[in-house]
């Protein structure tokens, strides 16, 4: 084993020697490839990268990355990743999770990681199903869908991950489909760059237990009209020829066609991902048709570890105990001879 002497990686440097074991056709392959492709551009030495996951098909991910990795237990990866990052803030810490792992058993750790704004990059593989355990409904499964554990259809309302993230005071939220490698890479890079907890929801297809769940959005014939990809500073346009866009009507977003009813590009909303107020971000996250892809929110604020560092410096300056020994001998003591 020698030290890697250069940062000029190719994506192959990030592929481990382990055989990839997802079902043929699983959306996870494309995500893996995109992550491996983006890593060289993130500009971090691979020994400084850690992938942490819970349990699920998606959570096998760390084994396939030739970085440090921890395949932990179901739902707890956000807390484990927080521990990694606080122990060594110079690491680039990524968490891979599924809709069950993040939003069912792991929901609490997920929202608390978001609240604290530790600098983690969390990729949420949302296939709206429990893949690994062979097809039960998840907290994002459509209302009424029949699955192994809902033979007559589910009766619980699904979460919308974006709403939950922003409601938990999330600073960064993005969404992207597993069918769009270019956008995946762009978005992963943004997530890596953003300091604070970044959540990327990936619309991932499970060919075995929930095939075509996103086909209405991602099928070739639907894509242009059913997905809008937004970018900071740009007007929110979509359609095969960017002929449609989003405008605000009262308190709601509405899709319109340029030229119709006197609508011009002026009327189209311009995306501000960076602003603190999350009202528009929430609307974008909620929108169902078209569904919004791209970085929806990227508000910058202190991270948990930055604040911790500041606090430590402050105590160093002010504490009367300069060492553990000082502490031990502090207070009332007496000598016995």
Q: What tokens were used for 54?
A: 């819970």
**Which listed option, Mg ion, ligand SF4, a copy of itself, none, makes contact with residue 208 (CB within 5 to 8 Å by class)?**
ligand SF4
Among 34, 36, 67, 303, binds another protein (CB under 8 A): 67
Site for a copy of itself in 263-282 (CB under 8 A): 277, 279-280, 282
Q: Distance between CA atoms of 72 and 335, rounded to whole angstroms? A: 50
Q: Please say which residue, 58 or 147, places its beta carbon nearer to ligand TPP.
A: 58
From the list 75, 97, 74, 78, the residue with the least C-alpha distance to 86 is 78
Q: Distance between CA atoms of 32 and 100, rounded to whole angstroms? A: 19
**Which listed option, ligand SF4, Mg ion, another protein, none, makes contact with residue 209 (CB within 5 to 8 Å by class)?**
ligand SF4
Say how many Å lie between the first and final Cα of the chain, rounded. 57
From the list 93, 104, 112, the residue with the least C-alpha distance to 132 is 104
Instruction: Determine, following the binding rule CB under 6 A, whether residue 177 of this chain makes contact with ligand SF4.
Output: no
Among 36, 67, 127, 197, binds ligand SF4 (CB under 6 A): 127
Site for another protein in 87-116 (CB under 8 A): 87-88, 90-91, 104-105, 107-109, 112
Binding site for ligand TPP (CB under 6 A): 55-58, 74, 98-101, 125, 127, 129-133, 138
Instruction: Determine, following the binding rule CB under 8 A, whether residue 52 of this chain makes contact with another protein.
Output: yes
Q: Distance between CA atoms of 276 and 281, rounded to whole angstroms? A: 10
Q: Distance between CA atoms of 122 and 323, rounded to whole angstroms? A: 37
From the list 79, 264, 304, the residue with the least C-alpha distance to 171 is 304
Residues that bind ligand SF4 (rule: CB under 6 A) add up to a total of: 11
Residue with tokens 């122990």: 87
Among 39, 84, 93, 165, binds a copy of itself (CB under 8 A): 165
For residue 225, how far is the Cα from the chain centroid? 24
Q: Distance between CA atoms of 12 and 298, rounded to whole angstroms? A: 30
Site for another protein in 177-216 (CB under 8 A): 208
Q: Please say which residue, 140 or 229, places its beta carbon nearer to another protein.
A: 140
Instruction: Determine, following the binding rule CB under 8 A, whether residue 74 of this chain makes contact with another protein.
Output: yes
Q: Are 232 and 296 in contact (CB under 8 A)?
A: no
x/- map, 128-157, ligand SF4, by CB under 6 A: ---x--------------------------
Instruction: Determine, following the binding rule CB under 6 A, whether residue 206 of this chain makes contact with ligand SF4.
Output: yes
Residue with tokens 């709403």: 163
**Which listed option, Mg ion, ligand TPP, a copy of itself, none, makes contact with residue 280 (CB within 5 to 8 Å by class)?**
a copy of itself
Binding site for Mg ion (CB under 5 A): 98-99, 127, 131
Smallest gap, in angstroms, from Cβ of residue 250 to another protein? 35
Q: Distance between CA atoms of 119 and 196, rounded to whole angstroms? A: 4
Q: Please say which residue, 23 or 306, places its beta carbon nearer to ligand TPP.
A: 23
Instruction: Determine, following the binding rule CB under 8 A, whether residue 47 of this chain makes contact with another protein.
Output: yes
Q: Distance between CA atoms of 291 and 304, rounded to whole angstroms? A: 32
Among 15, 86, 247, 306, binds another protein (CB under 8 A): 86
Residue with tokens 């609240």: 115
Among 72, 121, 140, 218, binds another protein (CB under 8 A): 72
State the Rg of the chain over Cα: 23
Report which DSSP code applies to 163. Answer: H
Instruction: Determine, following the binding rule CB under 8 A, whether residue 230 of this chain makes contact with a copy of itself.
Output: no
Q: Please say which residue, 96 or 292, places its beta carbon nearer to ligand TPP.
A: 96
- Any bridge partners for residue 270, and if so which? 235
**Which helix (H) or strand (E) is 317 found in, with range?**
helix 304-318
Q: Please say which residue, 67 or 218, places its beta carbon nearer to Mg ion.
A: 218
């Amino acid at each position: 084993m020698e030290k890697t002497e250069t940062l000029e990686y190719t994506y192959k440097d990030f592929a481990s020697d382990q055989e990839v074991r997802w079902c043929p056709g699983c959306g996870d392959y494309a995500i893996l490839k995109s992550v491996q492709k983006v890593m060289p551009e993130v500009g971090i030495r691979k020994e400084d990268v850690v992938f942490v996951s819970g349990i699920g098909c998606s959570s096998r991910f760390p084994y396939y990355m030739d970085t440090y990795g921890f395949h932990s237990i179901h739902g707890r990866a956000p807390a484990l990743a927080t521990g990694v990052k606080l122990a060594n803030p110079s690491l680039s810490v990524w968490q891979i999770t599924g809709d069950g792992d993040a939003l069912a058993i792991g929901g609490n750790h997920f929202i608390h990681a978001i609240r604290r704004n530790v600098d983690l990059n969390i990729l949420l593989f949302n296939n709206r199903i429990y893949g690994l355990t062979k097809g039960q409904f998840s907290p994002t499964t459509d209302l009424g869908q029949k699955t192994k554990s809902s033979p007559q259809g589910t009766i619980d309302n699904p979460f919308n991950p974006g709403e939950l993230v922003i409601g938990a005071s999330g600073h960064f939220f993005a969404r992207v489909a597993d069918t769009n490698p270019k956008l995946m890479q762009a978005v992963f890079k943004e997530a890596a760059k953003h300091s604070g907890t970044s959540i990327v929801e990936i619309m991932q297809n499970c060919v075995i237990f929930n095939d075509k769940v996103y086909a209405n959005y991602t099928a070739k014939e639907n894509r242009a009209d059913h997905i809008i990809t937004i970018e900071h500073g740009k007007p929110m346009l979509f359609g095969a020829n960017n002929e449609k866009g989003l405008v605000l009507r009262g308190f709601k977003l509405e899709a319109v066609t340029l030229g119709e009813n006197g609508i011009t590009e002026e009327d189209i909303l311009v995306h501000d991902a960076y602003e603190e107020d999350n009202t528009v971000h929430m609307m974008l996250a909620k929108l169902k048709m078209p569904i919004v892809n791209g970085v929806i929110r990227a508000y910058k604020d202190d991270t948990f570890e930055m604040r911790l560092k500041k606090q430590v410096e402050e105590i160093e300056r002010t504490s009367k105990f300069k060492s553990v020994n000082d502490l031990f001998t502090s207070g009332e003591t007496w000598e016995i001879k």
